[in-house]
Amino acid sequence: MDQRPVGMFDSGVGGLSVLSAFRELAPNERVIYFADTANFPYGPRPAADVRKHAFAITNRLLAAGVKLIVVACNTASAAAIADLREAFPVPFVGMVPGLKPAVRQSRSGKVVILATPGTLDGELYARVVDEFGRATKITNAAGVGLAELVERGEASSPAAHAIVREVLGPAITAGADTVVLGCTHYPFLAGVICAEFPGVGLVDTSEPVARRAVQVLREQGLEAPPGAPGGIDIIVSGDRAAFRTVMESLGFAPVREAVA
């Protein structure tokens, strides 16, 4: 049993999709969530820059006493997860593009990966495609502007509908029947995607990643004691009030600032 908190980070509100799933599975765990909104978005940044921010955030979370860190960002996972695991003495759980379940789910053998440029250009993504995508037609779709809309609390806006139509339309018209949500911001666009393309299947890895985090806690004897109250503390590198407003609009109750 270990009462220390779990650390989790993303460039903004996207990682809340993972946090929500984790809280469902482990309500007695306390989570310190770091939103690096001062450096949002990560997607267009060079990998070295994303890696630098990931290392700085990890040091901040370790100073707060976390026992495990969930990199709740596809871009940061692609750019930094291997280096983080080598450099720091805590377990890390990261995001992996959900291509394997998408290939199993697709009836047409055509899948769209909706992700940021930073994820699509990463070595991790290339390895996953090489391993699981050989018998499937994979179309990369860079969701430019979508994470920004979610970050502003405009996930269901007309602009979101327009970008989703533009980005996914050609591949779906060509027969793709499954969309992999390759950025943690994108599960908050699921309703828009389904409205624009009824019948298309979505693959969201938020819950599997949360499940993996719970498994690692169990395997390493790091679980919180039964009956522990759990909860969420936040650290926001940018505008705290704006982040809280969007966080609450996404269904989270008011939370407190973390103290290292």
Encode pLDDT of 184-231 as tens digits: 999 999 999 999 999 999 999 999 999 999 999 999 999 999 989 999
* CB-CB contact of 179 with 193 (8 Å): yes
Q: Where are the domains of the chain?
A: 6-95+207-257, 99-204
Same fold, 6-95+207-257 and 99-204: yes
Type of residue numbered 60: R
Instruction: Say which of 183, 203, 236, 258 is annotated catalytic.
Output: 183
> What number does CATH give the domain 99-204?
3.40.50.1860
Could you give the residue ranges of the DSSP H alpha helices within 94-189?
99-105, 117-120, 123-132, 146-151, 158-173
pTM beyond 0.85: yes
Instruction: Say which of 73, 167, 203, 224 is annotated catalytic.
Output: 73
Task: Note if 194 is an active site residue.
Answer: no
Encode pLDDT of 128-152 as tens digits: 777 777 778 889 999 999 999 999 9
How far is C-alpha 219 from the geometric centre of its chain's CA atoms? 23
- By DSSP bridging, strand 231-236 and strand 201-203 are unpaired
pLDDT band at residue 259 under the 50/70/90 scheme = low
Q: Which CATH architecture has domain 6-95+207-257?
A: 3-Layer(aba) Sandwich (3.40)
